[in-house]
Chain A
Amino acid sequence: MGRGRIKMKQTKYVMSGGLAFDEERDMKRLASLAQKGWLFEKFSPMGYTLRKGEPAHLQYAIDYRKQPDRDYFAYFEEAGWTHEGSAGDSIHLFSAPEDVAPIYSDIETMVEKYRSEQRLMGKSAVVALLFTLVLWWMSQWGIGGLAEGVVSILLVFSLIALVFTGLPYLGYTFKLSKLQK
């Protein structure tokens, strides 16, 4: 790089495979990219933004916790895990050197991690489904004009909401059935 030139921060975006479907694969991918010097910078819409840095041998882990307190992060720190960032106030990413023990050490609490997400997605999917049914029913009236246009647009949105809650619900359900075998 030439003298006096501003050093640009190099970043890149990688898409998530969907945490509800294959969390492990996302974490392994982040770890292998870290080995190549691409380190997690922050959560971005449907994925992660990475920054170029020194290659590092790290493992990554996701946890769900609504409105975590100071103690929550203190426990992770005490165990050797660094808080890398959060999406909203409930999805948290941690990293640690490869020899640090996993963040979950028993099946019972691991099941709870996914069960609370499953419940949340299940409830949201039911709401989305109700909206979709009502809007679909309204769209059959043939009211015409602006009202019908609005109903159609709302119907598309509620269908999207249904897909983005229903599929994760199924993903977590599948995950739980595997864990509880």
Chain B
Amino acid sequence: MARQDALESGELTDTSYYILLSLVEARHGYLIMKTIEELTDRQVAIGPASMYTTIKKLLKAELIEQLGEDQDKKKTYIATQKGLNLLKKDIQRREKMIQHARGILKWEGDESK
């Protein structure tokens, strides 16, 4: 499927990117949202339906795995080695995108607006 291919080729959607990032450490699925909000200073908020859909997709692509289920049936996930590799690859891609822009704009990103 086309969408699966996008994951395999090393491009993460912003949602997948942040979920993978927050699953470098094992976490309850329902805590991922809060983690991302805190991490990004509330700049990024992922809706619950997008969250659930993306987690299913990452599981299927074996980029994350389920560690266990507690007594409330709440599931814990963690990024797999494959997921970490893809995350690193995507970070490099994103870094390059920023370098391209800086090359043109001659802007280091530390000036105030």
Q: Give me the interface of A with B, judged by CB distance under 8 Å.
A: 61, 63, 65, 69-72, 74-79, 81, 101-106, 108-110, 112-113
Contact = CB atoms under 8 A, between A and B. Distances in A.
Interface stretch (B26-34, B86-94, B103-111): B26-34
Interface string B34-72: 100000000001111111111001000000000000001
A72 B52 contact: yes
Nearest to A110: B50
B38 to A, nearest CB: 13
Interface of B: 3, 13-15, 29-31, 33-34, 45-54, 57, 72-75
A76 B3 contact: no
Contacts of A110: 50
26 contacts: A61-B49, A63-B49, A65-B52, A70-B73, A70-B74, A71-B30, A71-B52, A71-B73, A71-B74, A72-B52, A75-B29, A75-B30, A75-B51, A76-B49, A77-B30, A78-B31, A79-B51, A103-B47, A103-B49, A104-B47, A104-B49, A105-B47, A106-B13, A106-B50, A108-B13, A112-B53
Contacts, number: 72
Contacts of A81: 48
Given A61-B49, A71-B52, A102-B47, 17 more contacts: A63-B49, A71-B30, A71-B73, A72-B52, A75-B51, A75-B52, A76-B49, A78-B48, A79-B47, A79-B48, A103-B49, A103-B50, A105-B47, A105-B50, A106-B50, A109-B49, A109-B50
A4 to B, nearest CB: 44
Contacts of A69: 73, 75
Contact of A76 (B14, B45, B48, B57): B48
From A102, A104, A105, name the one whose CB has the most chain B CB atoms within 10 angstroms.
A105
A32 B106 CA distance: 51
B48 A109 contact: no
Contacts of A74: 29-30, 74
A173 B57 CA distance: 22
A103 B48 contact: yes
A75 B48 contact: yes
Contacts of B75: 69, 71
A61 B47 CA distance: 12
A109 B54 contact: yes
Looking at A78, A81, A103, the one whose CB has the most chain B CB atoms below 10 A away is A78
A61 B48 CA distance: 11
